[in-house]
Structure 1
């Protein structure tokens, strides 16, 4: 249900939805069990590793004009049913998402809300004028579903519209605000997403204010986060902070790069209106729904975090791929979004579609996003002073929040960014480098570690991916010469036979200083062979079945796929 945005009040009743159309992605893959090593699913591996990353700072104070309900001190995080399932939502699906949020580690990363969108209710109210949950879709009612979600330590969200009907044609809340607010509170609802379909011609601000007051005065006194879904009309950002905890700043998102770009352009200009207790909402994330490339999905997540947007994912979470999990579960990027200072990133420059955004963080660091709107790779540059950092005689540390590679600069902040890609740095004063340090090297498409086969040290040993287990055969040391050494530095990653063609196998070999043993970690998360210029690639990892334990690594033409993306752990 994709609506057409109109500007007149009379036309608003014709809009069909505040949500985006459903899209579909593939089922995840996992490796076979093996007697020789401990195993685990790809998604479980990547999220367990992500959970070991640094946590973020919380505890922001609300801004002076924020809605005084004490909620949304950082941008809300969670899941919404619409983008993937539309009207095909059930109690079982909601509960399976709650299960996954906990088991995957996403709940521990901050994803707290499980939001039911349109189509959850019966077609008419009961004799007392109350909303009735669809007894087929929700046999335990919303209260039963809420109890299940709460037992997982999570929060439940619900949907309604500030009109006579919802966008899908179910009973709306116009004229029933207090009755509905009382129902939501009695059911244990924690968030209300309030749409704008089928209105009576009065302003959205007036109708939303009526529901705001009803929520504040609900019969149980329950605090309910209020999410305004006004599609960016009526300059909602200028009055939203006094009415809701978040407000849509744009039309509906869809699962395409064009939609991402349009929404980014609209939302990035509104930084002055966001802060603790009230946030600009550029709509739900489409990450993992299949309409965008891995690079584009990662850009969306990076930009939403940089803009301090609510991180409400809209994919089929229980069937997420490891690549999708590597995006949604990146705690370092989440930390940017959830930073206690509560600042939305501002656009420092945007010449030629090469965008630089800077977001000040609590403690003095700055998050810098370099976003390439164009289709071809480009170098994007700025400086520490331009993004608001003080002068530093010891230089600045650039922590790449996707590859986790750290470098030091005297003040220039620059990276080659792939088309439609985003490089996200956390910049701080002082020096730091990953050279000489030892880490596991984790593949985004699998959540598995680069691994020397079966702990063998013989030259020619196969280099593969395997469940991360902390073994010496998975500990990679980056050297100043560009080598990737294993086993404490005695043996190197080597392009077999010094070949430079796509498909060349990567193996273990005695370190000899050859250019076929030199590697370059790139800002986009790829690792290229210095001699060949080709990317370190999980063979067949661009296909769902290609990321199992034991899959060989090879050189391949760089293409931006998740099976060519790596991060230090």
Structure 2
């Protein structure tokens, strides 16, 4: 089922006007301004935290110098409120000249010299959510403009728009992005607006036209917000899993690790769950002041390797234990490997959980070497009929990697590797 679902998405991507940029073969990684810095444009009162080229250059510096770029984080994404309040005499968008004196082209050049990529924000409606010029009636012009600037990723929001027209409007933008000849990763907010308006979502059409897409409400800086997103993905997993695959990923929104609200255990939980969901890893935090324990979570190479598995299959919830608030999620990886997350909603105390391996949706009859990803230790070898016990902290996770064992057998009087 998993393989056929991915194949369906890949075959669908070759439609006449489908997105054709070769990007997001694994979930994109980077940094995005919105959750932490919002629409702070007061550079006089708050020069350190306002939406300005200085902010994005400083975050780019931190990505490179603090190891994030080497770990895979490559996009630096501008969100809303970067524009001047009006288009120019030729109806082109341009950046606020006081906050972005180098212009977006200059900022893109800065990123590219560092081996990074620049993302930008537009809105499908008449205005952006922050009240800046929208792209309605200017889709083709805006696509050409951002391509000329050297932009590498586009997030297109949907405020001040007729949601009923998005099934035609977003694919129009896809066509215009294709026509620029520049590979621009396309992040769509379209499904979230249709969900909010009660309009049925055609995920085949979404996956043909977008590299990543938002399905649910904006994340906020709270554990409750993280939980609500995980709940939505669990509820809708039978719809969302089949459309995810290389080039096309569901986006549960930004990582808030290192901001104000998450404990270390909750931060580890968000990182693990986003990896299981094959979600984009787009941090929204202040990399200039983040403390080491949160930086270490974001740079955990073993969790990132699971996130970036090239099969691109989205994981799903396979067990739910209401009594102790713990559930299990499983994601099939390449070469018969599985990743498993035991995820706790308990606020009281750590819990022991014992589960038979085959209940975790591992699909082979072979034995598995199981390692604890965060603890970086082997838990032993387990057959599908064996039970495994984990100890899960409140609001925390235990993340496992189950690797099928190579087995020697006798075949035609010879010992061979199965």
Q: What TM-score do you get using the length of structure 1 for normalisation? A: 0.63
Please tell me whether the aligned partners of residues 130 and 180 of structure 1 are also in contact (alpha carbons under 8 angstroms).
yes
| 1:461-472 pair list within 5 angstroms | none
| Residue 218 of structure 2 corresponds to residue 222 of structure 1 | no
Counterpart secondary structure, 2:187 = strand
User: Which residue of 119, 122, 127 maps to 1:160?
Assistant: 122
2:355 corresponds to: 382
Q: How far apart are residue 401 of structure 1 and its match?
A: 1.1
* Corresponding position of 1:321: 291
Equivalent residues of 1:91, 1:138 under 8 A apart: yes
Identify if the C-alpha distance between structure 1 residues 297 and 236 changes in structure 2 by more than 3 Å, giving closer, same or farther. farther
Q: Structure 2 CA distance, aligned partners of 1:286 and 1:204?
A: 29
Counterpart CA distance in 2 for 1:256 and 1:97 is 23
Answering whether residue 405 of structure 2 is matched by residue 405 of structure 1, we say: no
Partner Cα distance (1:169, 1:385) in 2: 52
RMSD of aligned Cα (Å): 1.8
Task: Give the corresponding residue for 1:65.
Answer: 12
1:331 to 281, 301, 314: 301
- What secondary structure, in the 3-state scheme, does the structure 1 residue paired with 2:389 have? strand
Among 229, 232, 243, the alignment partner of 1:263 is: 229
The alpha carbon displacement at 1:429 in A equals 3.0
Q: Quick one: distance in 1 between partners of 2:12 and 2:293?
A: 39
Q: In the TM superposition, what is the alpha-carbon distance from 1:238 to its structure 2 partner?
A: 4.5
1:477-516 correspondence to structure 2 within 5 Å: none
Report how far residue 385 of structure 1 moved. 2.3
Q: Shift of residue 197 of structure 1? A: 0.2
Q: Measure the CA separation in 2 of the matches of 1:380 and 1:237.
A: 36
Larger Rg: 1
> How far apart in 1 are the matches of 2:202 and 2:214?
8
> In structure 2, what is the equivalent of residue 101 of structure 1?
63
Q: Deviations over 1:221-261 (max 9, x none)?
A: 11111000132624264531011101101111111111111
CA shift digits 1:242-282 (9 cap, x unpaired): 11101101111111111111101112412222111110000
**Per-residue CA shift, 1:94-138, capped at 9, x if unaligned?**
011111111111111110100000010100000100001111111
Whether the 8 Å contact between 1:77 and 1:110 is mirrored in structure 2 is yes
SS in 2 for 1:108: helix
Runs of 4+ in 1 over 6 A off after TM superposition: none
C-alpha change, 1:165 and 1:236, in structure 2 (3 Å) is farther
SS at match of 2:271: helix
Secondary structure at the aligned position of 1:391 is classed as coil
Q: Does the 8 Å contact 1:267/1:280 carry over to 2?
A: no
Q: CA deviation at 1:389?
A: 4.1
1:350 partner SS: strand
- Report the CA distance between 1:396 and its aligned residue: 2.9
Find the partner of 1:178 among 133, 140, 147.
140
Greater helix share, structure number: 2
Question: CA offsets, 1:498-535, max 9 Å, x none?
Answer: xxxxxxxxxxxxxxxxxxxxxxxxxxxxxxxxxxxxxx
Please tell me whether the aligned partners of residues 237 and 273 of structure 1 are also in contact (alpha carbons under 8 angstroms): yes
Deviation per CA, 1:424-471: give whole Å up to 9, x if none. 01112349xxxxxxxxxxxxxxxxxxxxxxxxxxxxxxxxxxxxxxxx
1:282 is aligned to 2:252: yes
Q: Partners of 2:21 and 2:10 in 1: how far apart?
A: 12
Is the 1:228–1:244 Cα contact (8 Å) retained in structure 2? yes
The 3 A distance-change label for structure 1 pair 204 and 382 is farther
Contact in 1 for aligned 2:20/2:178 (Cα 8 Å): no
Q: Choose 398-407 or 370-379, whichever is displaced more.
A: 370-379
Instruction: Quote the offset at 1:204 in angstroms.
Output: 2.0
* Matching residue within 383, 400, 406 for 1:425: 400
User: Aligned to 2:318, what secondary structure does the other structure show?
Assistant: strand
Q: Please give the residue correspondences for 1:85-96 in structure 2 after superposition, counting only pairs within 5 Å.
A: 85-87=37-39, 88-96=50-58
Instruction: Note the alpha carbon deviations across 1:386-405, whole angstroms, 9 max, x for none.
Output: 3224233xx43221111101
Unaligned runs of 5+ in 2: 1-5, 14-18, 40-49, 407-418
Q: Is the 8 A contact 1:237 1:247 kept in 2?
A: no
2:335 is matched with which residue: 349, 363, 383?
Answer: 363
1:247 equivalent among 213, 218, 228: 213
Contact 1:212–1:244 (CA under 8 A) maintained in structure 2: yes
Distance 1:146 1:310, change over 3 A: same
Aligned to 1:55: none
- TM-score for both structures, normalised by structure 2: 0.84
Aligned length: 368
Return 5+ residue gaps in structure 1 as ranges: 1-59, 432-569
Whether 1:139 aligns to 2:101 is yes
**Change in CA separation of 1:381 and 1:343 when aligned onto 2, cut-off 3 Å:** farther
